[in-house]
Each structure stands twice: as C-alpha cells, then as structure tokens.
Amino acid sequence: GAVVSQHPSWVICKSGTSVKIECRSLDFQATTMFWYRQFPKQSLMLMATSNEGSKATYEQGVEKDKFLINHASLTLSTLTVTSAHPEDSSFYICSARGRLTTDTQYFGPGTRLTVL
Amino acid sequence: GQNIDQPTEMTATEGAIVQINCTYQTSGFNGLFWYQQHAGEAPTFLSYNVLDGLEEKGRFSSFLSRSKGYSYLLLKELQMKDSASYLCAVRDREYGGATNKLIFGTGTLLAVQP
C-alpha cells in the first residue's frame, strides 16, 4: 500500500518553455502533498506544501509564480515549472500523506528535469 | 532555527554493523524519520521515532533521544545493496497550521565493501 507515482520520470525541454509534472497517490487519498527539489549530491529541499482544495504554501525563496502547484483532487497534484531555465534543472520529487498515513510521507519516484 | 547534522560519508564491510548518527535542532519537534535513497531514485521509508528509545525492524534499528536531540540508524548484517544515502528527517510542527513539514539532513552516503 501507499504507492505514489510521478509522470514523467524524466523530461528535457528548451529554455523558456513550461513543464508540468504530475504526482498521484494510487491507493490512498492524499490530503497533503509535498514538492521537493534535489540538486546533485544534496539533500531534499521542500519547495511547497499543498492541501487538497486550497492554495499551496511555498517555502521561503521559492517563487510561487514560477512553480505553479495545483492539488485539485485527493489523488492528484501537479507542479508546473513556468518559463524554465537551465538553473531549474533538478530532480523533482513529490510525496503524499493521507488521512490514514498521518505519520509518514510516501515519496514518488521523482522526475529528472533538464532544461537546455 | 532548524539544523540537522549527519556525517557526509561512511564506509563499512559486508556482514558488519554500522551506526549512522544524526543530531538535530528544531523548534517544533514532532518525530524523526530515516529514509534510504539509492542514486537517482526517490527516498524510501525506513523508520519513524517519536518517543525515546529503540525501534527495531529486521536488520534496521533506529534510536531517539529527544533530550539530546540525537538519533541513530543501526544497520546489521550489511549487504552490498545497502550502499545508498541515508537521510535523517525531522518533522516540524508548524504553529498555527495543520501541516507538519519534514526537514531533511544532507544525508550520509554509505559504501559497503566486500
């Protein structure tokens, strides 16, 4: 149980384009989803927290207009990187926590974004 | 502020025991997690401690001392597949909100040698 999927697993795009990453909880309802970014050989940095049906809460230093988060249902959250630039190239990981999994966040497999 | 410290790298021998330490400072401690992360993959959950003491789960055990702001992950009977990064993460209670955020340490890269 507690499986989280992400799509796509990797994406390469040109500078200036927008990229959407989906995060789904497959076998539980995720009341809260988290989006992290991880640069090579560094730990996970929380970007934002999203609760179903409400606006996301962004961490300090994360531009909410650049990283658009939508959590429209209890099983789906999306992260859109708008006008991507090479410095946005990173490993983006989502995690989900549900009503019955309040103690643990379960992570998706991650999305490797490369901006040329 | 919030601060989590763990050693950057460790090396151990197959079949041996290794202990990975984690010290933390956080304003709203609400539990500590250990995750395993292989290169290029997402973290997988290993253990959770919220009360003082030792939690054992097969070859893995995790210990917590809240008064000392200290935890360790103990890996027994090491196998080559245990070579990975081990992330210590503290859950921080966000005052006034319903969200408990995870704050991650930088991770300890464990290399298991034959």
| Segment B77-112, tens digit of pLDDT | 999 999 999 999 998 876 444 567 788 998 999 999
The predicted model gives B34-47 an average pLDDT of 90
Interface of B with A in 3-32 (CB under 8 A): 31
Calculate the alpha carbon distances from B97 to A24, A49, B16, B30, B92 in Å: 24, 11, 44, 14, 11
Phi then psi for residue A87, to 5 deg, are -70, -10
Q: Which among B31, B41, B50 is the nearest to A109, CB-wise?
A: B41
**Given an 8 Å threshold on Cβ–Cβ distance, is A42 in contact with B98?**
no
SS3 B80: helix
**Mean pLDDT, residues B22-33 taken together:** 90
Return d(Cα A8, Cα B15) in angstroms, integer: 38
Give the pLDDT confidence of A68-104 residue by residue, as tens digits: 999 888 899 999 999 999 999 999 999 998 765 556 7
State how far the alpha carbon of B82 is from the alpha carbons of A68, B14, B91, in Å.
Answer: 36, 9, 25
Q: How many residue pairs from chains A and B have C-beta atoms closer than 8 A?
A: 49
Q: Nearest-CA residue of chain A relative to B31?
A: A103
Lowest mean pLDDT among A34-38, A61-65, B39-43: B39-43
| Chain A residue at shortest CA distance from B49 | A103
Chain B residues whose CB is inside 8 A of the A45 CB are 104
**Which chain A residues touch B if contact means CB-CB below 8 Å?**
32, 34, 42-46, 49, 51, 57, 91, 93, 95, 103-110, 112
Minimal CA separation from A73 to chain B, in Å: 18
pLDDT at residue B42, rounded to an integer: 84
Query: Mean pLDDT: which of A42-56, A94-108, B1-15 is highest?
Result: B1-15
Out of B97, B98, B102, the one facing A105 most closely (by C-beta) is: B102
For residue B101, what pLDDT is reported?
79
What is residue B96's predicted lDDT score, i.e. its pLDDT?
Answer: 40
Whether B40 shows a pLDDT value over 90: the answer reads no
Contacts of B112 (CB under 8 A, 6+ apart): B11, B12, B13, B14, B78, B79, B80, B82, B83
For residues A12-35, average pLDDT: 92
pLDDT above 80: residue B1: no
